[in-house]
Chain A
Amino acid sequence: MSKLFTRRRFLIGGTLGASALTLSGCDLLDQNANVANVLRSAEDLTMKAQRLLQGRDALAREFDEKDISPSFRVNGTSAPDGDEYVELAEGNFSAWRLKIDGLVERPREFSLADLKALPARTQITRHDCVEGWSAIGKWTGVPLASLLQLTGLKPTARYVVLHCADELEKTLDGSGRYYESIDLVDAFHPQTILAYQMNGQDLSVGHGAPLRLRVERQLGYKQAKYIMRIELVDSFSGLWGGNGGYWEDRGYEWYAGI
């Protein structure tokens, strides 16, 4: 009987303890660095599992014209307000140049006309926001792979960093500037393009004019808008928060395949 009694007390205590832990303790656990690291370990597992399933070149689904969303939500920045960008936009981006530098053999600059003269790819794909919504749009642009073939890569290059014109958070040190990065598997994926057109029109300012990334097997925050410069790096340590992207520095996963 006494054994049962202690067991009862154990059960009651355990249940109460567990619910108290989940109700108030989660916020504390959430801020604990060790817990955060354990939780983050799942990201690595997710990426390895998805890469194993996908292989290098599995394509994201491409839809028909009739599947295109009637409206495509503008998310993040809707119009960068930096002087440099405003001036470029006023000149219809004729003075805009895409710089590609860092760990490349031949750093280069491309005008919008240069990019449009290169062989293009058009794809109708689904854009999945991390928040949960989706929209389908038609994108036309230059495969990132063909630009990287023009510049060549140094053997130590591991990531492609996209530096953007928009500042999503106003800061004194510039750490609120949008940037993103992908690895070389995604950079050389056939559907990874630098898009200058959406739904048959030049990219609007809301959707990232003059140039945005499409990396179709990942979520919306990887699809960097307002690209100004592409830098090849061997690690993220020199970049702002060191996590490889604006949202990554604010707690989101670098690998955004889910």
Chain B
Amino acid sequence: MSANASNDNVQYPRTIFIRRHSVVTRLTHWLNVLCLSFLLLSGLQIFNAHPELYWGHYGANGDPAVLTIGSDDDAGLPSGFLRVAGLQIPTTGVLGVSNVDGEPTARAFPSWATIPSFQDLAAGRRWHFFFAWLFVINGILYLGFSLLSGHFRRDLAPKLHELSPRHLGREVLDHARLRFPEGEEARHYNALQKLTYLAVIVVLLPLMVLTGLTMSPGVDAALPSLVDIFGGRQSARTIHFITASALVIFVIVHVAMVILSGPWNNIRSMITGRYAIQEKGPKS
């Protein structure tokens, strides 16, 4: 950079490429995309086997449910519904009842949202646990690398001044107006990015793994405190579902932000590592 700065013939503004993402970040990111896609769709298949959520240690048909996706059959006209905390919402066509080979069929999540598309709990579980292992190994590699390389400290830990309400308020407003950092500021994640990524990396994803493990009778025997932390196997199952929903919302916002703030530049930086930024003038 200093060699360039001393060159008086450079014209500004100009585009320079910086190394945005390390090879480990890029690889683990895309493996995560793969794993989470399969985990979500096979997870919905598993959910379909018993489309009801409870709180506490036990819960089955007849016990009070916090969420139900079900169907009614009104004289041969099936209708689907989602019931959350006593509120029942008609969802025919998507949840509860959806088309399978052109026929309205009772199933919680529709066939286009499950792996496999047809009802097969055993197959759904095989996909789920295979990708769960891959996801955990990938996550451990990422966490280990990020701690050792300083990725967390350097790129993800917010600076103290970034956490002031004024600063955060300004970033929220900028995001709302779709004004994204440019030039020097674009070299780093903004505070909202840092906080969101940290929430996903250290809260949501570990929560997925831990609540998933708490549903295992084998793991519960080995690590009984897991059951206490989540207040029971059925609570853990409910939290697993809520956390998965939160991750789906994160991915929707994340992809929207990627598209709105320069899709090719963002995607290139996550594939090749190179990220273009505009330099307005020589660095002073």
Interchain CB contact under 8 A, B122 and A252: yes
Interchain CB contact under 8 A, B217 and A63: no
Instruction: Name the residue of chain B whose CB is nearest to the CB of A72.
Output: B60
The 8 Å CB contact of B129, one of A36, A46, A58, is A46
The 8 Å CB contact of B217, one of A53, A128, A136, is A128
Complex interface residues of chain B between 263 and 277 (CB less than 8 A to chain A): 264, 267-268, 271
Chain A residues within an 8 Å CB radius of B63? 69-71
Cβ of B41 within 8 Å of any chain A Cβ, yes or no, is yes
Bound: A46/B268 CA distance, A:
36
Cβ of B78 within 8 Å of any chain A Cβ, yes or no, is no
Within the complex, the shortest CB–CB distance from B188 to chain A, in Å, comes to: 25
> Of the 9-residue stretches A20-28, A167-175, A225-233, which lies at the interface with chain B?
A20-28
Interchain CB contact under 8 A, A27 and B116: yes
Bound: A9/B37 CA distance, A:
22
Interchain CB contact under 8 A, A134 and B60: yes
Chain A residues within an 8 Å CB radius of B222? 50, 53-55, 58
* Chain B interface main SS type: helix
Cβ of B20 within 8 Å of any chain A Cβ, yes or no, is no
Complex interface residues of chain A between 61 and 99 (CB less than 8 A to chain B): 61, 63, 67, 69-73
Cβ of A11 within 8 Å of any chain B Cβ, yes or no, is yes
Given the known interface contacts A42-B133, A252-B122, the answer about A257 and B218 at a Cβ–Cβ threshold of 8 Å is yes
Within the complex, the shortest CB–CB distance from B119 to chain A, in Å, comes to: 11
Chain A residues within an 8 Å CB radius of B220? 60-61
* B residues at A contact (CB < 8 Å): 37-38, 41, 46-47, 49-50, 52, 54, 57-63, 112, 115-118, 120-123, 125-127, 129-130, 132-133, 213, 215-224, 227, 233-234, 237, 264, 267-268, 271
Given contacts A54-B221, A72-B60, A133-B59, 13 further A-B contacts (CB under 8 A): A26-B41, A26-B116, A45-B133, A50-B218, A58-B222, A69-B63, A73-B60, A133-B52, A133-B54, A133-B234, A134-B233, A136-B57, A218-B218
